[in-house]
Amino acid sequence: MNIATLLRRYGTLIGFALILGFFWFNLPDSFMTARNWLNITQQLSMLTVVASGMTIVMVMGDFDLSVGSAASLSGIVAGVLFAAGYPIWAAVGVALLGGLVGGAINGVLVSFIGILPFVATLAMLTILSGAAFVLSGGKTISGAAIPADFSNFARGGIPLGEIGGLAVMLPNLTIVALAVVFAVWVLLEQTTFGRRLYAIGGNVEAAYLSGVAVRRLKLIAFSLTGLSAAGAGLMYASRVASANPTQGSGLMLNAIAAVFLGMTMSEQGVPRILATVIGVLILGVLDNGLTQMSVDSYIRQVLVGAIILLAVAASSFSKRLRR
Amino acid sequence: MSFLSLDNVAKAYAGVPALRRVTLTIEASEIHALMGENGAGKSTLIKILAGVVAPDAADIRIDGKPVDIGSPKEAHRLGFRFIHQEFNVVPALSVAENIFMGRRYPLRGGVLVNWRTLNATAREALEKLGITHIDPRQKMARLSPGDQMLVRISSAFLSEPDAPARLYVMDEPTAALTRDESERLFRVLRQIRADGGSVLYVSHRLDEVMALCDRATVMRDGATIDTGRMADITHDDLVALMIGRKAGEAYPAPGTAPTSALALEVRGLAAGRLQPTSFELKRGEILGIAGLSGAGQRELVRALFGDLPLRGGSALLDGKPYRPFSPAAAWKAGVAYVPRERRSEGLMLSRPIFENITLAQLKRQSLGGSFLTPRAEQRFATSLGADVRLRSTGPRQLAGQLSGGNQQKVVFAKALSGNPKLLLLDEPTRGVDVGAKFDIYTIIRDMTQKGMAVILVSSDLPELIGMCDRIAVMRDGAIAEIVTAEGLGEDDLLNRCYGRAPLAA
């Protein structure tokens, strides 16, 4: 294996290692600590869940722009039901079901009606976002309306022991994110369902002519993406103990960016769930490290965007060289 | 001195030679025929002339001066004009815009398109072919396939003062034309010859070539075999030169005759442009489907494969009612399909070979229909690969890294993965090199010996005659007649495709 192949295959990982090294060097006391890393995983848990769902549709070559507003809406739905006195399980169940249905609508629009995913999910983004404002009356639902058991979930975790006299725990949200990643990994990498999604992404016409039920699979895939977005919305609502009609808005672009970063790690440029997780970690570590170094948040945005561009550009450039 | 001379042209694709030792001279004021079987290398040679393919070696001279055709633009500048078989039209644009495809539009003040000049110049080009019934401002999509072909042809006759045309290369230009339209084209070509221009003419229609052309160059297996004056050569000599051997040897010998048990009975099947069609197919039989392009072959196959909604009719597969509503249902019923466009319809080029092969039978090649068993899949794919004589580095190699012939074998392995009762083949050897072709023919034969019934759609007439038991000739969306393949002449079959009475011998 020559250096070019090595760089092509592991370039993004090497870049990630360099970023880690940079922060470790500049933040020797706080960056490479268990506490900071558990904190990072908790901060990233929502993005991880959404990006996992996004990976499912991007495997087919599609994407879903509505995940952010789906997340916001699910938080609002749960909040409104809490306020109306429904039990936690009912509110959470309805919110998740709503995400599933919203995703299914995306799936119908894309696969049965034949609207481009960009247009269909962009319209859904607007609709779901509007619905969140209508349901909430444009206000944040918080305070006594949110049951303590619900918000305590995000604060809880499995105790791991003590470091320096302070209790350290594996946050529940991190556990949820890991469980979702595992489920998506099984789905995409170990089942015929996942293989067929990759087949659709490889050549939709050939897949269809080989007996793959393209439309039904797309419908299911979009539904799962919607479900994951709703789940992330609930995690967010639990973490901040409130529901706001715009709180999921940052998730969509970051999720797509994470999948793209992950795709740079694949020879064929296909999304893989574990690569997506690395993509999420890169985004999260950058955010965490730059914040600790007190870099201005606007400059942070510029830096993160530039790094995404750099990774994707380097990857497509090295692939072009090979031809 | 010849107008154009090519010497020692060679080209190999991934180590497989497509052209070797090609020599061709074209005089001014000449219509020169380029003859040869499918896969002889004609299209590669034309692509080199068009600047689309770079030769590995070539000595190309115009008026004795060496030239380098590095790009389609340069070919155009040198005065070469092409009418490709698969030259695409843009349906959403007007006739005039299609005629001007790839050319500079006439401008007004150097900025705005001068539509009046554009349309008038396009009309001029059409009128050279004697076409007055097509308005240059019409959308291309509204034209019949025949008229679209005429538009494509006339784009070669667009007058361009800054790069005057000197050589017209025509690849099967008459395939979609009526007799009258063909005659009109021939008159134009003769006029070009009278005006000092040259034509390189490629056609499988021997009568046409013998009547039109001054000289012929025959290609076989990537080399030019002979060049001679048409007046000095007989029809039979020409065929013998092209084939180089007796027809039939290129195909494996038929085994035992088909059984009498029916595999497929089709009664009045109609779908899309396909008119109500009836025929029967025995187990172990190969039924060929012949016809001019667009006569309904594709519709027939797609209807049988559940990809085209049926308007009516019924079918029995192994005596049981068969009415597929999707390709998935067709696979399930035991019908397999090798599509025409291997790269766009047959394969996932960026996925490993074994994923391509098992895709249609994933349910059976997994645990409980849900969980992947990649190792068992790879073993299965390896054994099927061996059956079809696939040459690869292993089941995990990417399909896109294989040569055309081996890619087609992957498609075949997928088709055979479920031991189908009926195999639908649409141009299974298109773009496949000679060796792989024979392998594919052998696979087909072997399968029929096991009782599989095969429908073989092909535009390669020798292939149909050499492989099939019977041949159904399609015209205008319906099966016009079904003939026994044995002893059938190529000319006879071609005439039947055109709906003309067989020529008296």
DSSP code per residue over A163-201: ETTEEEEEEHHHHHHHHHHHHHHIIIIIBHHHHHHHHHH
- Which B residues, 312 through 371, put their C-beta within 8 Å of a C-beta on chain A? 326-328, 330-332, 337, 339, 344-351, 355, 359-360, 362-363, 366, 369-371
Residue found by looking up tokens 């396939």 in the block: B145
Q: B177 and B289 share a domain?
A: no
Distances from the Cα of A262 to the Cα of A11, A290, B178, B198, angstroms: 11, 21, 56, 56
- Percent of chain B past pLDDT 90, that is, above it, reads 43
B249 touches chain A (CB under 8 A): no
Residues of A in contact with B349 (CB under 8 A): 202-203
| B179 burial level (CB within 10 Å; 0-12, 13-18, 19+) | exposed
Q: B32 and B49 share a domain?
A: yes
**Do B464 and B497 form a contact (C-beta atoms < 8 A)?**
no
d(CA B73, CA A234): 60
Comparing A19-23, A107-111, A283-287, B431-435, the range with the smallest average pLDDT is B431-435
The predicted-structure confidence for B30-39, as pLDDT tens digits, reads as follows 999 998 876 6
Q: B218 and B287 share a domain?
A: no
B414 contacts A210? CB cut-off 8 A? yes
**pLDDT given at position B462:** 84
Would the pLDDT of B321 be above 90?
A: yes
Residue B440 falls within a domain, yes or no? yes
Comparing A103-107, B182-186, B416-420, the range with the smallest average pLDDT is B182-186
Element (H, E) at B478: strand B478-484
What average pLDDT does range A152-169 have in this prediction? Answer: 84
**pLDDT given at position B14:** 63
Task: Give the domain range for residue A149.
Answer: 31-247
Q: B384 and B429 share a domain?
A: no
- Tell me the pLDDT of chain B averaged across its residues: 87
Would the pLDDT of A55 be above 90?
A: yes
A209 contacts B346? CB cut-off 8 A? yes
**Structure token pair of residue B253:** 């010998």
Cα angle A294, A288, A22 (rounded to 5 degrees) comes to 80
Domain count across chain B: 3
B233 touches chain A (CB under 8 A): no
**pLDDT given at position B44:** 86
SS3 content of chain A, % helix, strand, coil (to 5): 75, 5, 20
**Do A24 and A31 form a contact (C-beta atoms < 8 A)?**
yes
Please say which residue of B372, B404, B419 terminates a domain: B419
Residue A312 falls within a domain, yes or no? no
Would the pLDDT of B86 be above 60?
A: no
Residue B263 falls within a domain, yes or no? no
DSSP string, B362-410: TTTTEETTTEE-HHHHHHHHHHHHHHTT---S-TTSBGGGS-HHHHHHH
Residue A191 falls within a domain, yes or no? yes
Q: What is the CATH number of the domain that holds B458?
A: 3.40.50.300
Residue A101 falls within a domain, yes or no? yes
Would the pLDDT of A37 be above 60?
A: yes
Please say which residue of B243, B266, B298 terminates a domain: B243
d(CA B259, CA B278): 20
Q: B208 and B223 share a domain?
A: yes
Does residue B148 or residue A224 have the better pLDDT?
A224
Residue A106 falls within a domain, yes or no? yes
**pLDDT given at position B247:** 45
Residue B275 falls within a domain, yes or no? no
**Do B426 and B457 form a contact (C-beta atoms < 8 A)?**
yes
Residue A70 falls within a domain, yes or no? yes
**pLDDT given at position B320:** 93
What average pLDDT does range B352-364 have in this prediction? Answer: 94
A212 contacts B359? CB cut-off 8 A? yes
**pLDDT given at position B433:** 63
Q: B307 and B411 share a domain?
A: no
Would the pLDDT of B248 be above 50?
A: no
Residue B254 falls within a domain, yes or no? no
Residue B267 falls within a domain, yes or no? no
**pLDDT given at position B291:** 86
The predicted-structure confidence for B392-402, as pLDDT tens digits, reads as follows 889 999 998 88
Q: B200 and B307 share a domain?
A: no
Nearest chain A residue (CA) to B399? A202
ipTM of the complex: 0.90
User: Residue A162 contacts by C-beta under 8 Å, 6 or more apart in sequence?
Assistant: A168
**pLDDT given at position B503:** 47
Domain count across chain A: 1
Residue A262 falls within a domain, yes or no? no
Q: B302 and B372 share a domain?
A: no
Q: B80 and B137 share a domain?
A: yes
What average pLDDT does range B41-66 have in this prediction? Answer: 89
Would the pLDDT of B15 be above 80?
A: no
Which runs of consecutive H residues, i.e. helices, occur in B6-94?
A: 42-49, 72-77
- Which B residues, 378 through 417, put their C-beta within 8 Å of a C-beta on chain A? 398, 414
What is the least distance, in Å, from the CA of B348 to any CA of chain A? Answer: 5
**Structure token pair of residue A147:** 């049951």
- Tell me the pLDDT of chain A averaged across its residues: 91
Does residue B497 or residue B279 have the better pLDDT?
B279
Q: B163 and B217 share a domain?
A: yes
B366 contacts A202? CB cut-off 8 A? no
d(CA B349, CA A172): 42
What average pLDDT does range B61-74 have in this prediction? Answer: 90
Would the pLDDT of A119 be above 80?
A: yes
Nearest chain A residue (CA) to B306? A209
pLDDT interval class at A323 (50, 70, 90): very low
Q: Which among A111, A197, A209, A267 is the top mutation candidate for probing chain B, defined by the most B β-carbons within 10 Å of its own β-carbon?
A: A209
pLDDT interval class at B504 (50, 70, 90): very low
Residues of B in contact with A193 (CB under 8 A): 370
Residue A194 falls within a domain, yes or no? yes
Q: B24 and B156 share a domain?
A: yes
**pLDDT given at position A2:** 65
**pLDDT given at position B333:** 94
Nearest chain A residue (CA) to B416? A210
Residue B503 falls within a domain, yes or no? no
**pLDDT given at position A187:** 97
Please say which residue of B399, B419, B439 terminates a domain: B419
Residue A316 falls within a domain, yes or no? no
Task: Give the domain range for residue B402.
Answer: 335-419
Q: How many CB pairs under 8 A join A and B?
A: 76
Q: B293 and B409 share a domain?
A: no
**pLDDT given at position A150:** 93
Residue found by looking up tokens 């020692």 in the block: B8
**pLDDT given at position B434:** 59
